[in-house]
Amino acid sequence: MTQLAKSGRYLYAVVPSPAAQVYAFKGLEGKPVYTITNGKVAAVVSDVPDEKIRPERRHLAAQQAVLKGLLQAAPALLPMSFGIIAEGPKAVQEILTRNHDILARQLQRVAGKVEMGLRVSLDVPNIFEYFVNTHPELRTARDRFLGHNRNPSQNDKIELGRMFDRHLQKHRETHAERVAKIVSRWCFEIKRNQCRNESEVMNLACLVGRGAGAQAKFEEGVLAAAKLFDNHFAFDYNGPWAPHNFVELNLEL
């Protein structure tokens, strides 16, 4: 897929098949963005001048701009990962033919929907000290291993670290369930992604209705969930985005 001639086609997304279409927005290197159709599905592509597209900021921004444009122009879309290139129109057609049914089912799943992101983080100076102060068991262990000017052994440090990790994971699971229970009323699906750092409590991807009213209801749900937490927790939601986290494809290339 990546050892290509200069006539390669860069794949941005798959959409429900319209008549052959050229979009108003541009793609990588300012090239026209258009569809290659096959049955009920169509690939959104642009010509690429080189054999390989590097993940530079300008290329990533161009791909994101195309997906943003497709959110307005297409009733549903399946965003592709960065860097998928086909050798030409025939190769694109072959991909669509081999994967036609699964693409059509996935498009139906996300039709009329967008992705919203919701991250909740602990806004405290020191995560470990926060857990020590809120979990007596951890505070007792800290004092036993580190108190009275004691020089802890490596095993002591490992055990204390394990206790902290257990409390951290339980803390995340409990709070993620609380938030998901509230916002799920306005979501078709919720996916829990891996937290990026120790401060992050949850990283949720939420599939919601595309209309402004549906997104407003989701925002109301986020605010309602935030009221259950004290000022140590910071809520941050973003979107709408193409439904990256709800595309489950293992394409035959």
pLDDT band at 2 (very low <50, low <70, confident <90, very high): very low
What's the order of all strands across the beta sheet hosting 189-193?
189-193, 200-209, 113-122, 233-241
Contact call for residues 94 and 251 (beta carbons, < 8 A)? no
pLDDT at 6: 57
Contact call for residues 243 and 113 (beta carbons, < 8 A)? yes
Contact call for residues 8 and 91 (beta carbons, < 8 A)? no
**Between 158 and 2, whose confidence is greater?**
158
Decide: pTM greater than 0.75: yes
Residues 12-71: tens digit of each pLDDT: 999 998 778 999 999 999 999 999 999 999 999 999 976 678 889 999 999 999 999 999
Tokens at residue 5, please?
């001639």
pLDDT at 223: 96
> What CA–CA distance (Å, rounded) separates 88 from 62?
20
Q: Which residue has the tokens 């300012």?
A: 30
pLDDT band at 225 (very low <50, low <70, confident <90, very high): very high
Q: What are phi and psi of 91, to 5 degrees?
A: -65, -40
pLDDT at 3: 44
Average pLDDT over residues 72-92: 93
Contact call for residues 176 and 214 (beta carbons, < 8 A)? no
Q: Give CATH for domain 114-246.
A: 3.30.70
Contact call for residues 66 and 12 (beta carbons, < 8 A)? yes
pLDDT at 64: 96
Cα–Cα separations (whole angstroms), residue 181 to 160, 221, 222: 32, 10, 11
Among 190, 176, 186, which residue's Cα sits nearest to residue 220? Answer: 186
pLDDT at 1: 47
Q: Residues of the chain with pLDDT > 90: what percent?
A: 72
pLDDT at 50: 62
